[in-house]
Structures are given as structure tokens and as C-alpha cells.
Amino acid sequence: MKVRIGFLHKKPLIKVKFKGDYFISDEKGCSEKKLDESKVYEIKLIQSKPAEYEWYEKTDTVFDVGKLESHRDKYYLQEKSTRVIKAGRQIGNLDNFEYWLLKKTGDMDGKIYPSGDYKYKKLIKKEAYGEIFFDGVEFHNKINIIPKNEECSFVVEGVNVGIDFHWDHKEDLEYKGELEIIIDNSGSLTAVNIIDLEEYLSSVNSSEMRNDNNLEMLKAQTIAARSTVLATMGKHHYSDGFDLCSDDHCQCYQGISKISELSKRVTENTKGEILIFDSGIVDARYSKICGGITERYSTCWEDMDFPYLASFYDNYPGNEIKSPMSEEATQKFIMDGDFDCFCNTNKNPLPVSLEFCRDLFRWKTVMNAAEIKENLKVKFGIDIGDVTDLITVARGYSGRIFKLEVKGTESSAVISKELNIRRLLSKTHLPSSAFLITKSGTDFILTGAGWGHGAGLCQIGAQVMGEKGYSYKKILKHYYRGAAIKNLSAYTKG
């Protein structure tokens, strides 16, 4: 199975060096071409016109097509400004589709996080088009550069890694598989790597974790990553021309540069294994450190939940949390640096590659009112005057804040969902939204727990579980409640 990974976006020029023989394909056909391996090729945008599109707000998501009629009657027979969109991919005989109920809204450009907001979708009215110049020839709309054999590879200069996070930087990265250059919705160039699913996972496996991590943890991580790819294909980047992006918005993928013999072996040993719940592929989210309690899907993303992404204590037997955490309970939880859980980096040893995580089980930082005011204006387009206070409106089951009121001298604003709150209170991203707020003059002291959204597999917790002797199957059973491990081949034969 091939996957389409967008890894370089909105560029007027892309520089590539090729190793081996390639076929060049466009709308007119395909021809073999010998490329000079000593040359850096420039793929240029000559002229283009961006896509025309409309913004829609997602009002509901339906997974059962049988239930769609009642939703149509309720929402969609009354207004012309409503749509129903079928999103996803057919994977063998697994119906991996979902149906989005959309209502037309105003222009949201520049008003939501660049990596996407699950509540808002762009629907294309007219596709972007343009001309691409490569090796003396003009190509219309796109160009596919196809390897002649598995030994071929290409190196792309200046690929952004860790977009909008504190480790944001550029690298020259090497890839196998096919390189497709498209005119993206903005009218610029986007690079897409078309690669075999298992080879892609070998890279994701080693990009997300490292070679000195526990083998059982790496197996669990690989199966979670494989499941997430298949569950989200055609959804996260519905109208972007690729299945997933190569960064934290989807999954970290840095080509073959990061692949090790261990990551290859782990991927091969778990080949085809996926997580299934109720005849559907599990959207197996994962984060670095849950902080001691995992979180529900709805705290982090859309206002819905999946039974397999429950909130529970990250210890054995991991009892489930039945209600959102109170302020009193949150304070007790966050201030407990000895909290008994797998991901407690104060109590459990870590491999060398994960030592950088040690101070993030419990953490403290300070954010000034002026910085919050600037972030609110730049990142969210909201001006409330000088920031005077931060008020917790709602917490999730792990104590993560998912509604935060920001009071100002002129007005106030409520920021929803944990990632937006983390963006607001940091130059890049706060470690998590599980924090306590103490005001000191114009400073806000934030004392928090964990790193990441906390839903699904906790990577540090899984690492410790592996070291304690738990198998990858038991690790997955712990983090994805009620999910079963199946092999994809059972659903794709015939």
C-alpha cells in the first residue's frame, strides 16, 4: 500500500539532488530520463493561480451512513449553505469513511492555526493551476519523478522540521519512493513523497522514538503509527493533495535519513498489525508524557469521544477516570511529583536519548501579560487590550484545561482546546494544558504536568512498561481500551 506524504509546502522553488535513474511523468505521459547525480536540480514555479474555495464549519461527524438521513432532515434540507462530505479511504473491506456535516461560514484565512483546525474546512470550488519548470521543460500543474528501482533516492534541500515548535529548523533530507511536485491550493509548490506504507513506518518509528528505546515499546509505537495513518488518510488533509503531512500535525517523518536497522526490524516484525475497535481502524493518538493520567479525545480535538481513547491512571491496573477533574483534585495531582505512574521520570530510569524529557513530568514556566497579549493578536487575531487575568473555565479528565478565559482591559476572550491554549501561553507550545495558574504582578506562573495532549499511548509510559517486562500487546491493551490487534492482510485479501 502506498501513502502520500506532503513534506515541503508553499515554496516558489524546490532544490533536489537525485541518485539513480528516474521516469518523468506529467499529464502527457511518462518518459525515462537519466539525471545527473552530481547536479542539484531546481524545480521552479513559473506562474500560477491559487485555488478558489469556501470555508465551512463542521457541525457534526457521522460514522454510520445509516444515521445520515436523520441528520440530513435535521440540518441540511433547510439551507443551501450546508453540505455533507464523505472523507477517508476504503482500506480493503474496511469502511474507513466518515461523513462531515458542514455549514458555510465566513473567511477563516489567518484566523486558525496554520496546521489546521478540526472545526473548519476549506472546500475547493476551482482547483489551483500553473506551470512548473524542471530541467529545461515546462510541466502543467504537477510533475511526478518516479524511481526506476528501489535503489534510487533523492535529497531535498531545506525541509522544515518541527514546524511552529521550539525545535523548528531546516534540514536536507533524503527520501526513497516517488517525488511528486504539485501546484498547491495557495498557488505555490508542495512536495509529496509517494512511499510504501511499511517503509514510511520505518522512518516514523525512528523519528518518533530512538534506537536505545525498549523493543516492546517500539513495536507498540509502530502499530499505533500504522493504525493512525490508515485511520486518518483522506481526513486531516482532505483537500490538500496528500494523505498526511510529515510533521507533528500528523506524524513525524524525515525520509530515510533517520531509518536504522532496529526500526526496520521492528516494522518488519509487526508488519500489517493494526488496532481495530468495533470493525473500524483505531485512530491511535499518542503523545510524549501523559503526566500520570491520559486524556479523552474531546478535550484535545472535536467535541466527540472514542471508547478506546479513555482517561485513566497511567499505572497498573490503570483505573478509568469517570468525570472531569476538579480544581482541588488538579492541584493535588499536579503538585505530586511522586505520583505513582509509568511515565514518572522522577522515579523511573530513561535511556540516554530520552533524558531531555526528564524535567517535563512536572514543570514550571512564567508568561508575562504583554507576551500573552501579543500572542493573542498574532496567533488568533484577537485584541482585548492589556491582559489582566487568566481564568480556568473547564478542565478535562486529566486536569488539562480545554477552555481558558483571557480577561483584558477592553474585553475578554475564551480560548478552546488544549493545543490552542498551549500556543497562547508560549512562543511556540506550552508542554501541556494541565497546569495551575498563579498571578504575580503582570506575570503568570504556570505549574504543569506532562508533555503533549495526553490522549492514547504515552511514549515514556510505554518505554517504562517495556522495561518492566510488559509485552507490546499488553502495552497497547493498556493505552487503547477495548481495541484488538489484527493484521491488515485479513481485510485486504481478494
What is the pLDDT, as a whole number, of residue 30? 57
pLDDT digits 0-9 by tens, 145-189: 999 898 999 999 988 776 665 566 788 999 999 999 999 999 999
Q: Phi then psi for 189, rounded to 5 degrees?
A: -100, 140
Q: Phi then psi for 370, rounded to 5 degrees?
A: -65, -35
- Is residue 283 within 8 A of residue 203, CB to CB? The reply is no
pLDDT digits 0-9 by tens, 88-136: 888 888 878 889 988 899 888 776 655 556 788 889 999 999 999 998 8
Buried b / exposed e over 351-371, threshold 16 CB at 10 Å, is: eeebeebeebbbbeeebebeb
Q: Phi then psi for 51, rounded to 5 degrees?
A: -70, 155
Averaged over 189-205, what is the pLDDT? 93
3-state secondary structure (DSSP) of residue 38: coil
Query: Cα–Cα distance between 15 and 443 in angstroms, integer?
Result: 45
Q: Which among 228, 341, 329, 240 is positioned nearest to 294, based on CA atoms?
A: 341
Buried b / exposed e over 252-276, threshold 16 CB at 10 Å, is: bbbbbbbbeebbbebbeebebbbbb
Average pLDDT, the chain: 90
**Least confident among 31-35, 135-139, 340-344, 490-494:** 31-35
Q: Which helix (H) or strand (E) holds 377?
A: helix 369-380
Averaged over 218-236, what is the pLDDT? 93
**Least confident among 237-251, 305-319, 437-451:** 237-251
Strand partners, 160: 170
pLDDT digits 0-9 by tens, 20-47: 888 888 756 556 667 788 899 999 999 9
What is the pLDDT, as a whole number, of residue 69? 65
Question: Which residue would you say has higher pLDDT here, 340 or 75?
Answer: 340
What is the pLDDT, as a whole number, of residue 494? 55
pLDDT at residue 199 is higher than 80: yes
What is the pLDDT, as a whole number, of residue 154? 95
What is the pLDDT, as a whole number, of residue 119? 83
Q: Which helix (H) or strand (E) holds 204?
A: helix 197-208
- Is residue 193 within 8 A of residue 178, CB to CB? The reply is yes
Query: Cα–Cα distance between 125 and 276 in angstroms, integer?
Result: 36
Confidence of residue 73 (pLDDT cuts 50, 70, 90): low
pLDDT at residue 413 is higher than 80: yes
pLDDT digits 0-9 by tens, 359-399: 999 999 999 999 999 999 988 889 999 999 999 999 999 99
What is the pLDDT, as a whole number, of residue 168? 67
pLDDT at residue 7 is higher than 60: yes
What is the pLDDT, as a whole number, of residue 108? 82
Query: Cα–Cα distance between 221 and 285 in angstroms, integer?
Result: 10
- Is residue 203 within 8 A of residue 258, CB to CB? The reply is yes
Pairing state of beta strands 443-449 and 189-196?
unpaired
Query: Cα–Cα distance between 343 and 485 in angstroms, integer?
Result: 24
Query: Cα–Cα distance between 413 and 492 in angstroms, integer?
Result: 49
E strands, 357-456, in order: 362-368, 387-395, 401-408, 412-416, 435-440, 443-449
Confidence of residue 332 (pLDDT cuts 50, 70, 90): very high
Question: Within 10 Å of residue 61's Cβ, how many Cβ atoms?
Answer: 16
Q: Domain ranges in the chain?
A: 2-50+128-269, 52-126, 277-494
